[in-house]
Structure 1
Amino acid sequence: MYQPPQFRLDRAECHRAIEAAPFATLVTREASGAPDADHLPLLLTPAADERSPDRLCGHIARANPLAHRLEEGMDEVEALAIFHGPQAYITPSWYPAKQAHGKVVPTWNYQVVHVHGRLRLIDDPHWLHEMVVALTERFESERATPWRVSDAPDDYIAAMCRAIVGVEITVERLEGKRKASQHKSLEERRAIYQGLRDEYGHDEQDATCLGGIPSSYSAGD
């Protein structure tokens, strides 16, 4: 991924981006060498210390060809997980410079994280059950009345788990990028922030991220 220094995210920022947008595009290679992509939520387990790797965990359908490739003797495969954060087209109509001299063009601002690592299959009923519980708790936690795995009959959950297999990525390299007009003037970034809020309806968090301005900024500043 092309990464100008001003757009690069550090490890902690990459972790926050993954936590905020955990639905990933998982890229691997077929036996022929052709690229293949799957789409699934992955939960991040940060390393306990500097000597240990971060890990990403999730599950795929047992019928998925990726599961078949791993079951056929490929203990691990090279994988790339891509996490897409907020993104938006940026119109030059928002720029103050449009009125001043007209030398402006459109762009696209976005946040993305690439996770490179080794992918392995986990076919263990207990691990899968714990993974399903963890995923459910992660995405139900903000609901007033969260649904829980225990709300469904045990035999039904067991049958559902038999139809999936776990996947785990041992992270070898993280690359994060936030292209948010950071190299532009604060006046221009404020205008982008306001346009994202007023014209596109982005919430404050996404508008702040894509506008490349301090999180403490508000429209009244």
Structure 2
Amino acid sequence: MKEVKLAVIYYSSTGTNHQMAKWAEEAGKQMGAKEVRFRRIKETAPQEAINANEDWKKHHEATKEVTTASLDDLEWADAIIFSAPTRYGGLPSQVQAFFDTTGGLWFQGKLANKVVSGMTSAQNPHGGQETTLTALYKTMFHWGAIPAAPGYTDEVMFGAGGNPYGVSSKAGVDNLDENIKKAVAHQVKRTLQLAGWIKKGIQE
């Protein structure tokens, strides 16, 4: 883990995925990642749409100083944790727009062998979390990246999120509890372990 560079990249409208990403950043540092970058995906929604939702507006204002994710962050990282809410069972347009800029890195093979993992949230317990994460991993397969889904590799996954593809939660920061925080930490640990093994294998 000590040689792994971790990027935690999130999109969040009202704060749920921001908090999960913060927990992932914290876990990465505690577990001894060589370096951790915390990045947000650029908000592209019209300001009038943001203003129409008080929680969205408040979160947007509170986090606008967070560094925006760039292609350099993807190239730099050995491991990447993504966190984003579902949109009708798929990725938010903000996230897809970011992914749509990665063609140059993909063509050069610079995204191959990155170890990636995803987290998500939805308005209700069955609001598309699993399909959102599989949509995320579909892009990762095209990159040649290696998904590090948590599966049920720790007992915490049976009581938090209940999702083998990645930690998921009902939307709303108030719905995030200690069990979900522990599940996030386990997912980060698994991602860093796999990235460490991959990096060691490539170096050898």
Scaled by the length of structure 1, the TM-score of the pair is: 0.21
Counting strand residues as a fraction of each chain, which structure ranks higher?
1
Scaled by the length of structure 2, the TM-score of the pair is: 0.22
